[in-house]
Structure formats: structure tokens, C-alpha cells
Amino acid sequence: MSILFDEIPSLDLADFLSGTSEQKAAFVKKLSEAYENIGFVAIKNHGLSQDLQDRLYAAIKKYFTLPDEVKAKYERPEIGYQRGYTGKGKEHAKGRNTGDLKEFYHVGQELSFIPDEDPVKKEYPANVWPEEVPEFKEVAIEAFQTLEKAGKAMLQAIAISLDLPEDYFEDKVAYGNSILRQIHYFPIENPEEVPEDAVRAAEHGDINLITLLMGASADGLQVLRKDGKWIPITALPDQLVVNVGDMLERLTNKKLKSTIHRVVNPPRELMNTSRFSIPFFMHPRSEMDLTCLESCISAENPKQFTDATAGEFLEERLRELGLRK
């Protein structure tokens, strides 16, 4: 039965990780219901402390106040901007040509933590660390690892909801190609000077398995409900917003929904203010097979996707976003 949510459901991850068997089962049921209908939940008790969030936001604000020519030292177009800085307006949503009104900084797996014998180590570029903000490296790595741990717990619950073994995703996301993205929606001093259709982040779906978003510093995030209505996403300060990405939708043959969302511009009088946001895009290893699960294919829901690995799908999408040639 289809459910229309007026707001995204709130869940307590502690119910799943340390609750009774009844609490754990209730968590999985509510999560499944949310992901099959709106694709988003807000969770608390995720392990990311307020102190850690504050330190990370302080570091990225310090970086984004640097002059553009200094920030540009950390731009790496030759690797599709997968590490380091991406300048203003360089990324656009799939199907659009107008760049989003944002700049961002990517952190991936820290190579020194990956065992030498793991072939995935050779696939990833090294992280790029800004010398002007020396504290950024330590706090970004800590946030990456904390969010990755919370993401693995969410994937365990998702696996149970799909009648898969609880550890189904474990080997697929071990040293996965995840990205911690620090976003700055920069101030627009003169709104007349930007293209009429330019927005902070045009409507899009995420590429990955799941996205974990720590509290953004201003309103603006909206999700498209299946009846065509946009509803605002608001999370309490102690919550993470966790949504389904395209890879998980593909694996589950659209049983779980990768819901279109956007970041709208603020009222004109607030266009000259900054907004900061830090999503963690949880990716699997590139060799993960995204072939639709047999259990998600039926006469009523025939197979809707061609077979592909996570790496193949990612490359295709990066080209669509203007980040790969």
C-alpha cells in the first residue's frame, strides 16, 4: 500500500544496534516502509557527536573563506574532481547544463588505512589536504569513519528488510568508494547576475547506495513526494538524514526508492548568505554487481535495469554530471 508522508519518518538507530529483538524488528519495519515510499528517514544515535560536527564545520568554513585562486590549488580535474576542491558552478544536475550555485570539497578513503594486498587501494586517488587549514585532515577522516560505521549499520537493517543475510553488504562496502562532500552554497550578492534557472542544487537523485547527511546550516532541502508535491526535509540537530541512492534502487529493482530532491534558493533578501552542508555518499567497491535481486523481480514488477557493476554505473553518471569527459 502506498503511503504519502507529510514529513520524513524519524528513527532511533540505537533500537537497531542495541535494542530488544522487538525494537530491532520494529526499526527494520519502519525503515522498509519509509524507503519503499519516500526513500528518506532521519536517524538519531548515529555516533556523530555535536563536537565533531562543529569542528568539521569550523574547518570547512575556514577553507571556503580563502580566495578562489588559493582554493583552486586543490582542484583535480584530471581525476574527475573525485578528491579535493570543485569550483563554483562546475557541477550540474543530470539533464541540465546550468551549473549549480555551489562549490565543494571531496574526501575519500584514506589510502594509508587500506591493506596493501587489497586491489582496491590502486583504484583510488590520494586525498588532497589544504595546507591553509591543517586541522581539516584529522577531523574529516574522523567524520568519514564515523559516518561509514553508521552507514554500515543502516545497510545491515536494509539487508534484513530485503530478506538478505544481515552482513550482505559488508564485503561490498569494505573500503568502498565513498565520498565525504563538504558543500558551500556561496552567497550571491547580485541575484540578477546569475542565470535565471540557476539553483543551489537542481533536482537530482544520488548515485550511491545510501547518503548520510549531517544537519545543514540553513533550510532549503526538499524531496519530491510520489504525488508530485515537494515537501521540506527538516532534521533535528541530533539527527542524520539518510536516503536511498540510485545504486540501491537499481539493486532492488525500484522496490526501494531513490527519491528526487533539491536545494532551493533562499528568498531574494537572503541570497547573500552562505549555506553549508556535508553529505556522506556511501559507495560500494567498484566490482559490486548491481544486477537486480531476483527477490525484487516479479510479474507485477518486471526487471527494469540492465546489468552493471557499481564502477560502470558511477562512470556513466559522472559523465552526465559534467565531471568526466
pLDDT digits (tens, 9 = 90+) for 211-223: 999 875 457 788 8
Q: What is the pLDDT of residues 95-106, one digit of tens each?
A: 655 667 789 999
Residue 68: per-residue pLDDT: 93
Task: Tell me the residue ranges of DSSP E strands in the chain.
Answer: 10-12, 40-44, 84-86, 103-107, 179-185, 201-204, 210-214, 221-224, 230-232, 240-244, 261-263, 275-282
Work out the pLDDT band at 320, boundaries 50, 70, 90: confident
Please state, in angstroms and rounded to a whole number, the distance separating the CA atoms of residues 279 and 70: 24
pTM equals: 0.92
173, amino acid identity:
V
CA atoms within 13 A on the CB side of 223: 25
For residues 325 and 79, give the distance between their C-alpha atoms in angstroms, rounded to a whole number: 10
Percent of the chain clearing pLDDT 90 (strictly above): 67
Q: What pLDDT does residue 110 have? A: 97
Residue 266, pLDDT > 90, answer no
> Of 227, 201, 209, 225, nearest to 92 (Cα)?
201
How many other β-carbons are positioned within 10 Å of the β-carbon of residue 189?
Answer: 8
- Residue % of the chain over a pLDDT of 70: 89
pLDDT at 207 over 80: yes
Between 265 and 303, the more confident residue is: 303
CB atoms within 10 A of CB 213: 24
**What pLDDT is stored for residue 1 in this prediction?**
56
pLDDT grade for 196, boundaries at 50, 70 and 90: low
Note the pLDDT of residue 322: 67
Q: Which residues are within 8 A (CB) of 205 and not within 5 positions of it... i.e. 6 or more apart?
A: 245, 246, 249, 258, 259, 260, 261
Nearest C-alpha neighbor of 155 from the set 13, 20, 315, 260: 13
Is the four-CA dihedral 229, 202, 284, 48 of positive or negative sign? negative
Q: What is the pLDDT of residue 221?
A: 83
User: What mean pLDDT do residues 33-39 have?
Assistant: 93
Average pLDDT over residues 167-186: 95
Across 26-30, average pLDDT: 98
In whole angstroms, what is the distance from residue 312 CA to residue 286 CA? 8
| Per-residue pLDDT reduced to its tens digit, 139-173 | 999 999 999 999 999 999 999 999 999 999 999 99
